[in-house]
Homo-oligomer: A and B are copies of this chain.
């Protein structure tokens, strides 16, 4: 779990030894093959994951088409947020785009730790804030930009997505068609 510990320490310095012990105790390891689903639409997400190795993708189905909602890389937390928080069936699917190694914690256990430990609750708040900031930025993109601006924005903010992900997924992540993305790329390059 040392990757996870180091990652959290970057956001919250001075982690206590007790926290570190909890971390090693409550997280467990999970592996996925390429193409395997971690979460399916309709299920209730009962687990929070952290990516040690690999790449994953969240998508939902609308009119028989896949719409990509998010990509996950090493050092990202993975979950279907509303499903986990509200314990309701989720609309999103999570699929491994490459072989993956994850750390996992049961949501119930996490909430128990948040209840008894101010330190855990603080850390949970910090990463909820991070999630909210990401959502806000993506929303800003959708509300204010046209196809080309969205692509430029992604290029500026998240070049690792452009470099590592097949363009059909990038297009659906940006809310544009594969063809339009291809034309934009032709125009820009």
Contact = CB atoms under 8 A, between A and B. Distances in A.
A67 B128 contact: no
A16 interface: no
A62 interface: yes
A104 to B, nearest CB: 20
Interface stretch (A18-26, A27-35, A118-126, A151-159): A118-126
Interface stretch (A2-10, A36-44, A46-54, A130-138): A130-138
Interface of A: 60, 62, 67, 69, 81-82, 85-86, 91, 114, 118, 121-122, 124-125, 128-129, 131-133, 135-140, 142-144, 175
B175 A143 contact: yes
Contacts of A143: 67, 69, 142, 175
A136 to B, nearest CB: 6
30 contacts: A60-B144, A62-B144, A67-B144, A69-B143, A81-B132, A81-B133, A81-B136, A82-B133, A82-B136, A82-B137, A85-B129, A86-B133, A91-B140, A114-B122, A114-B125, A118-B118, A118-B121, A124-B125, A125-B128, A132-B132, A132-B135, A135-B135, A135-B136, A135-B139, A138-B139, A139-B139, A139-B142, A142-B142, A142-B143, A143-B175
